[in-house]
A and B are shown apart, each in its own frame.
Chain A
Amino acid sequence: MLSDIKLKMSSSPHIRSKTTSANIMLMVTIALLPAAAFGVYNFKLPALIMLISTTVSAVLTEYIYQKLMHKKITVNDFSAVVTGLLLGLNMPASAPWWMGALGSVFGILVVKQLFGGLGQNFMNPALGARCFLLISFTGQMTNFIYDGVSGPTPLALLKSGESVDTMSMLIGTIPGTIGETSVFAIIIGAIFLILMGVIDLRIPGTYIAVFAVFVGIFGHFQNPDIGFFDPQYITAHLCGGGIMLGAWFMATDYVTSPITKTGQLVYGALLGILTGLFRLFGGSAEGVSYAIIISNLLVPLIERVTLPKPFGKGGEK
């Protein structure tokens, strides 16, 4: 009888999951579509051209690089699509399309592939590319045209002490980059990601909470007319600029965020403080991109500090 029992011997991993990089990246792409669709509705044809330009050139760059270097072609894992789409959502619609394409090439080639491809990049490729463009073409990258008029973003107005319309910031009918204006569209995508289990609340939750507290306290120091924890002021800061897009879609990038649970809280808090610092006391009105890439660089350090002790080790000294 004993010979009937078939015992399979195999090495680890014994528990398998159907989750793959391609699955996750596809879901992130789907989650970005509401924001992209609203961006195209809001900024019309130029926004569509920009999104196509960044996405196509990101995928093409990855394909050509891997082909030339005789590496495994991994374009069908959608990670380049996500990078391209995120960069497109971070561009003003008025910028020329080739600028987005150049950013995609930089993000994929220099930030991602030269460091070893997916999983090895030390900072978010889309944000690396955006900062590259922001430094290179400051004029065009901060020229926001809405309804044919070039005007300041609500954040810039907020910084100079003027009042803003919070409702239109929630819906997104304001000047800004293609994907950052509509809080509603971003939240729809974020809820989808949370329901599908792709992201959890730890990083974005801490980020937004710490940022709100920071703005609540230090908004008063930056502009004495605003009281401590002025709800209108905090809401305007949360709905304006790239914090929603950054918190839900870019700070949560698996590769460039900590894997330890405590580490994720530290990372979120760091993001909140840095963003608040840059927005309130920095030279420009927006600081989400720089806050995220600086925190990306600190991730290895955060992970080292928050490494959990293996079971049975530590305890009494």
Chain B
Amino acid sequence: MNGCTERVYNGLIKENPTFVLMLGMCPTLAVTTSAINGVGMGLSTTVVLVLSNMLISMLRKIIPDSVRMPAFIVVVASFVTIVQFLLEGFVPSLYASLGLYIPLIVVNCIILGRAESYASKNPVVLSIFDGIGMGLGFTVGLTAIGLVRELIGSGKVFGFQLLPLADVASGQAGYVPVTIFILAPGAFLVLAGLTALQNKVKLNAAKKGKKVTEAAGCGEGCASCGGCSGKVFPTGNEKE
């Protein structure tokens, strides 16, 4: 099962579809006006992704290479239709707020991308876990963006009024929501900010990792190491 946990880790952190692969930007930017919308969209996509990965992986030896795209689309569209009816039936409020973006999951490039690059080449169990990892990664990404936008843009967290709003009429002090964050430009600002943040965290982690290997590599002889270090690791200050 080591491969399976690796798949989940890959989808959640290493190749997070929102912050690293930058896939599925249309729902990412459009529906993340609140955290609950992000969760709903993320989980719906996850369900479709897991099921379509599973089925496509099962059929990978039957589907002819030349018509694989139409075949993938048919599989994905069937699952999306099922999810759409389930959402409409059981969580009509979420369905209303996600609206058009539910049927648009069919053309979500994460799903087609995973079908094309992973599920059509790998065994069923691994493909299922790949779907789980990618789907959860997408959900985490959308929820994070939705959380920040909802908090700044309306002072709420998951619909709960965390920051009491100011009331101009009665002169009551409080939080004045920065409305631009629940409008379209806010999506870009928050996505860019969070992506930069996770890059910074990853860079820091990578730096720490590098130092460890450097220390290990120095065992051969520190004298020779000093001479070439400037060439091996460019500092950016060199001039020809």
Q: Which of B97-155 contact A (CB under 8 A)?
A: none
Q: In angstroms, how far is the closest chain A Cβ from the Cβ of B176? A: 7
CB pair B176 A135 closer than 8 Å:
no
- Among candidates B179, B183, B189, residue contacting A137 with C-beta atoms closer than 8 Å: B179
B75 CB-CB contact with A under 8 Å: no
A132 CB-CB contact with B under 8 Å: yes
Q: In angstroms, how far is the closest chain A Cβ from the Cβ of B150? A: 15
State the CA gap A135–B186 with chains docked (Å): 11
State the CA gap A139–B177 with chains docked (Å): 12
A136 CB-CB contact with B under 8 Å: yes
Q: In angstroms, how far is the closest chain A Cβ from the Cβ of B151? A: 14
State the CA gap A132–B183 with chains docked (Å): 11
0/1 string, A126-159, CB within 8 A of B gives 1: 0000001001111100000000000000000000
0/1 string, A118-132, CB within 8 A of B gives 1: 000000000000001
CB pair A110 B189 closer than 8 Å:
yes
CB pair A135 B189 closer than 8 Å:
no
- Among candidates B168, B177, B179, residue contacting A135 with C-beta atoms closer than 8 Å: B179
Q: Which of B178-227 contact A (CB under 8 A)?
A: 178-181, 183, 185, 189
0/1 string, A275-314, CB within 8 A of B gives 1: 0000000000000000000000000000000000000000
For B179, the closest partner residue in chain A by CB is A136
Residues of A contacting B185 with CB < 8 Å?
132, 135
Q: In angstroms, how far is the closest chain A Cβ from the Cβ of B182? A: 10
CB pair B180 A136 closer than 8 Å:
yes
Q: In angstroms, how far is the closest chain B Cβ from the Cβ of A46? A: 16
Residues of A contacting B179 with CB < 8 Å?
135-138
Residues of B contacting A102 with CB < 8 Å?
178
Q: Which of B168, B178, B179 has the largest count of A CB atoms less than 10 A from its CB? A: B178
Residues of B contacting A132 with CB < 8 Å?
180, 185
Q: In angstroms, how far is the closest chain B Cβ from the Cβ of A21? A: 24
Residues of B contacting A138 with CB < 8 Å?
179
State the CA gap A110–B179 with chains docked (Å): 17
Q: Which of B168, B180, B185 has the largest count of A CB atoms less than 10 A from its CB? A: B180
Residues of B contacting A136 with CB < 8 Å?
177-181
State the CA gap A92–B177 with chains docked (Å): 19
State the CA gap A132–B176 with chains docked (Å): 14
State the CA gap A263–B176 with chains docked (Å): 42
State the CA gap A110–B181 with chains docked (Å): 14
State the CA gap A138–B180 with chains docked (Å): 10
Q: Which of B152-185 contact A (CB under 8 A)?
A: 168, 176-181, 183, 185
Residues of B contacting A135 with CB < 8 Å?
179-180, 183, 185
For B189, the closest partner residue in chain A by CB is A110
Q: In angstroms, how far is the closest chain A Cβ from the Cβ of B152? A: 10
State the CA gap A274–B183 with chains docked (Å): 24
For A110, the closest partner residue in chain B by CB is B189
State the CA gap A312–B43 with chains docked (Å): 64
Residues of A contacting B183 with CB < 8 Å?
135
For B178, the closest partner residue in chain A by CB is A136
Residues of A contacting B178 with CB < 8 Å?
102, 136-137
State the CA gap A138–B179 with chains docked (Å): 9
State the CA gap A110–B185 with chains docked (Å): 12
Q: Which of A102, A136, A137 has the largest count of B CB atoms less than 10 A from its CB? A: A136
State the CA gap A102–B168 with chains docked (Å): 19
Residues of A within 8 A of B (CB): 102, 110, 132, 135-139
Cross-chain pairs A/B with CB under 8 angstroms, 17 sampled: A102-B178, A110-B189, A132-B180, A132-B185, A135-B179, A135-B180, A135-B183, A135-B185, A136-B178, A136-B179, A136-B180, A136-B181, A137-B176, A137-B178, A137-B179, A138-B179, A139-B168
Beyond the given pairs A135-B179, A138-B179, 5 more chain A to chain B contacts, judged by CB atoms under 8 angstroms and listed by A's residue number, are A132-B180, A135-B180, A136-B177, A136-B179, A139-B168
